[in-house]
Amino acid sequence: MKLFFITVFSLFILLLKPLYADLKVRELKSHDGIEFWLVQEKSIPFIALEIRFRGGTSMDEHTTRGAVSFMTAMLEEGSGELNDQEFLKARDSIAASFNFDASRDSLSVSARFLSNNKSEAVELLKGALTRPRFDQEAIERVRRQIISLIESNQKNQKKLAQSKLFELTFGNHIYSSSDIGTLKNIKSISRMDLIEAHHVAINKDRMSVSIVGDISEDQASIMLDTLFEDLPLASKPLPQSANINLDLGTVLVDYPSPQSVAFFALKGIKRNDKDFFAAFIMNHILGGGGFNSRLMREIREKRGLTYSINTSLAQYDHAELFLGMFQSSNGKISKAIEILKKELSLMASKGVTIEELEAAKKFLIGAYPLRFDGNERIAKILAGMQFIGLNKDYMVYRNEMVNAVKPADITRVAKRLLSEKGFTLVVVGRPDELKLSN
């Protein structure tokens, strides 16, 4: 049975290979000069359009923090002559789908529609992007939803731990506060604040655009020129790089719970760093590989100190971090922290074994094709690649870069990133054997 599964899985990987290795990605420019990537797929009369506007919630002012996220939630609440219900009815009548999301560095737009309905879909999406109504009734309804989310987050230990970690790590930078704002800010944000947030967050000269589906080059060019013709150019500069504050040790936040949650941060690495792939594989082996990772094995499986522990490389536009999170009972959290620090030190001093490295490579190379499981996912991947500065050939050489990493590369990057001198850990709970801070 195991051999059969491996054979089927291997065949599945081979069948998926053309989905990324043989993708014909064209780097194009519309008649009006809009750069975009296009993959023509005519087997289904369907188009997936992905847009990333650079800036995201980092374009907020501290005094109106949460305005960009608030504004993004309003984009399907009516536009032009259509109120919220009329907009949704018009969208559903042509079987289109729009999704708007604001994150730390980008405002993303995902649009799905039938190729026969592209004119109607583009007209609706254009209205949402260029002529949102911001009706007061809809504003108050969305405001209540955001307030409810903030109140929920204030009772969530994981959210509290991450929030405190970012507050300490990023200091006065906009990254230090929540994307969705505070109760005080959200309650005071006005319609004019939302209009201003719209003006600074959705700009035609800060876009990454990809299209996958049943559409020609000329049709795609006309579609994008129509969609973006009324968008303004950027009027507000992007934030400066963040000054990251690490080496703060362990910070404790009192919270009445039998469990303690821990979030930790160390120095990160830029996506274009020559050691990125070594760091990528190191993270997988240390804490990013689920049940196969060292931290999961040492802290959960061997000692039963946590249910789950994970790490990740966070690359933001204006900062980089190596992040991790776990939770444990108040009586076990101190021991879990001890083992965590031991494993970080061991990785920094000894690196990884050849067996660990080869197993990680096999997984990361084999799993990569699974990401390309349809037009929507491909469009997202292509837009994301543009956004972080990768070229269209990255999909071809990515696995070669993974395979080229040597044990010495991982030892080198681990020494750079996993220094206990650059370690900050926030614990939210009432852990035994640890004194709470003021």
Quick one: pLDDT at residue 329?
96
Q: Residue 21: what pLDDT?
A: 59
What pLDDT sits at residue 421? 81
pLDDT tens-digit readout, 377-396: 999 999 999 999 999 999 99
Local structure of residue 79 (DSSP, 8 states) = B
pLDDT attached to residue 434: 73
Q: Is the pLDDT of residue 288 over 80?
A: yes
What's the fold here for domain 249-429? Cytochrome Bc1 Complex; Chain A, domain 1 (3.30.830)
Confidence band (pLDDT; 50, 70, 90) for 15? very low
Identify the band that residue 20 occupies on the pLDDT scale cut at 50, 70 and 90. Answer: low
pLDDT of residue 378: 96
Question: What pLDDT, on the 0 to 100 scale, is given for residue 419?
Answer: 83
Q: Is the pLDDT of residue 6 over 50?
A: no
pLDDT at 1 over 70: no
Which pLDDT belongs to residue 354? 97
Q: Do domains 22-228 and 249-429 have the same CATH topology?
A: yes
User: What topology is assigned to 22-228 in CATH?
Assistant: Cytochrome Bc1 Complex; Chain A, domain 1 (3.30.830)
Give the residue extent of every domain in the chain. Answer: 22-228, 249-429
Under the banding of pLDDT at 50, 70 and 90, the label for residue 435 is low
Share of the chain above pLDDT 70, in %: 94
Closest to 284 (Cα-Cα) out of 148, 137, 402, 397: 402
What does the pLDDT average to over 300-319?
96
Tell me the pLDDT band of 437, cut-offs 50, 70 and 90.
Answer: very low
- Percent of the chain past pLDDT 90, that is, above it, reads 91
pLDDT of amino acid 4:
33
Average pLDDT on 305-325 reads 97
**What average pLDDT does range 189-211 have in this prediction?**
98
More confident residue, 373 or 410: 410
pLDDT surpasses 90 at 23? no
Residues 347-365: what's their mean pLDDT? 97
CA distance 48 to 213: 6
| Mean pLDDT of the 296-322 span | 97
Mean pLDDT (the chain) is 93
Q: What is the mean pLDDT of residues 6-18?
A: 37
Q: Give pLDDT, residue 22.
A: 73
Of the pLDDT bands very low, low, confident and very high (cuts 50, 70, 90), residue 428 is very high
Question: Six-digit token pair at 71?
Answer: 């504004």
